Amino acid sequence: MNSLSSQICGSLSHFVAKNTALRLVSRPDIGHKGTNDRRTLPVTDPATTPDSTWKLTLELPLEVTSAFEELLYAQGDDPIPTIATFEIPERPEVWTFEAYYVNRPAEDRVRQALGFLCDMYQLDMPAFVIEEVEQRDWVAESQKILKPVKTNRFFIHGSHDADKVPADRIALQIEAGQAFGTGQHGTTHGCLRAIEDIAEQGQPHNILDLGTGSGVLALAMAKIWDSPVTASDIDPIATETTIENAEINHVKLAASAEDKTGVFALTADGFDDPELAGRGPFDLIVANILAGPLIELAPEMARHLTADGRLVLSGLLDHQQERVLDAYRAQGFSLEKEYALGEWRALTLKRV
């Protein structure tokens, strides 16, 4: 356990001990690190949908969002709140934090948890809003929002658009859900374009999708290349979602780490995981995460890429591009091609 985890666990134990009205609740395996938007849409079941939903909204530094999530879970609400965190592009120092409740959360308990968080990290008390959310059929809402995404080779769609697949496109059915990546986001779209361009130049022999999310990029690569694809994510829900999406899209799954065919979905905390490292070296690594982790991972990326390999990096904004490139230039890489979709960027790099 790292020092931050130890600090959080120790502090939470103290928090619970001091507040006898609270009980520590196991945290669900919902990951938020290394993504651009992992918002989870509530599932609507007419038989079980509550009469109302309440939303707590505030802004926090990314590095403390997991700690605040733990503090809210420790308050013992039944059912526990659903958490969503997502980036504010124009203000990268803070993220929006949302918690959805069946019952209205008590303001004094929210302030209590925030006060403890602020004491622990020497933060000013942030403003927060508690509001009732209109009841909706979230599945229908997601279908309205998630229109099909078409690139030169691919057609990414939900099940509601399965009848609209053009004959000249490779179809991938990806539903809105718990893991990031439906093809809608500019970063995912940029990666798909980069993959298409690389495909014009040949076939990689060993591929890694680092931070796979829904698995959309891993599955896209498995559709166009008959090469092993490792789909890795720190979040076990992402791994499960990738497996489900592979089955939906009739993509072969590797039976084990030793199986060098199909897609191997792996829950791993980066290249420190021996199972992930053992699948390398890779001649194509696609990483659609965030600028900060991309910069930190530059030495490891270089170490696990073959001499003639390529990197596709995304999850960065236009103003972050030079910092990311500087980190990879220091490892002997140069920019091969840039893909711009609004303020988002995807980059293809090769060794100098």
**pLDDT category, 145, cuts 50, 70, 90?**
low
188 is known to lie in a ligand binding site: yes
For residues 178 and 223, membership in a common domain is answered with yes
For residues 131 and 179, membership in a common domain is answered with no
Using CB atoms within 10 A of its CB, is residue 20 exposed (0-12), middle (13-18) or buried (19+)?
Answer: exposed
- Span 60-114, pLDDT tens digits: 998 888 889 888 988 887 778 888 888 787 787 889 999 989 889 999 999 999 9
d(CA 7, CA 1): 10
Q: Is residue 145 part of a domain?
A: no
- Span 233-289, pLDDT tens digits: 988 888 999 999 999 999 999 988 888 899 999 999 899 999 999 999 999 999 998
**pLDDT category, 213, cuts 50, 70, 90?**
confident
Q: Is residue 156 part of a domain?
A: no
Q: Is residue 247 part of a domain?
A: yes
For residues 323 and 189, membership in a common domain is answered with yes
d(CA 140, CA 137): 5
d(CA 7, CA 153): 48
Decide which of 139 and 171 is more confident. Answer: 171
Q: Is residue 295 part of a domain?
A: yes
Mean pLDDT of 109-138: 89
Candidate from 154-158, 230-234, 240-244 with smallest mean pLDDT: 154-158
Dump strand ranges (E) for the chain.
53-60, 82-87, 95-101, 128-133, 149-150, 154-157, 170-173, 207-210, 229-233, 263-267, 282-288, 305-317, 333-341, 344-351
Looking at residue 344, its pLDDT comes to 86
Sign of CA dihedral 192, 95, 210, 281: positive
- Span 179-211, pLDDT tens digits: 444 445 678 889 999 999 999 999 999 999 999
Q: Is residue 80 part of a domain?
A: yes
Looking at residue 20, its pLDDT comes to 29
233 is known to lie in a ligand binding site: yes
Q: 82, 115, 139: which is the final residue of a domain? A: 139
44 is known to lie in a ligand binding site: no
For residues 208 and 341, membership in a common domain is answered with yes
For residues 258 and 320, membership in a common domain is answered with yes
For residues 206 and 323, membership in a common domain is answered with yes
**pLDDT category, 23, cuts 50, 70, 90?**
very low
Looking at residue 315, its pLDDT comes to 87
**pLDDT category, 216, cuts 50, 70, 90?**
very high
Place of tokens 């990738």: 242
Q: Is residue 317 part of a domain?
A: yes
- Into how many domains does the chain fold? 2
Q: 139, 163, 182: which is the final residue of a domain? A: 139
CB count within 10 Å of CB 306 equals 16
Structural domain span for residue 221: 173-351
For residues 212 and 271, membership in a common domain is answered with yes
211 is known to lie in a ligand binding site: yes
Looking at residue 127, its pLDDT comes to 96
For residues 185 and 133, membership in a common domain is answered with no
Decide which of 43 and 300 is more confident. Answer: 300
Q: What is the CATH number of the domain that holds 60?
A: 3.30.70.120
- Span 306-317, pLDDT tens digits: 999 999 999 888
Q: pTM higher than 0.75 for the full model?
A: no
For residues 127 and 187, membership in a common domain is answered with no
For residues 135 and 181, membership in a common domain is answered with no
For residues 229 and 323, membership in a common domain is answered with yes
Alpha-carbon dihedral 200, 346, 187, 267, rounded to 10 degrees = 80
Maximum mean pLDDT: which of 8-12, 102-106, 316-320, 332-336:
332-336
Q: 139, 160, 192: which is the final residue of a domain? A: 139
**pLDDT category, 36, cuts 50, 70, 90?**
very low
For residues 39 and 123, membership in a common domain is answered with yes
Looking at residue 29, its pLDDT comes to 28
Q: What is the CATH number of the domain that holds 240?
A: 3.40.50.150
Q: Is residue 18 part of a domain?
A: yes
Q: Is residue 161 part of a domain?
A: no
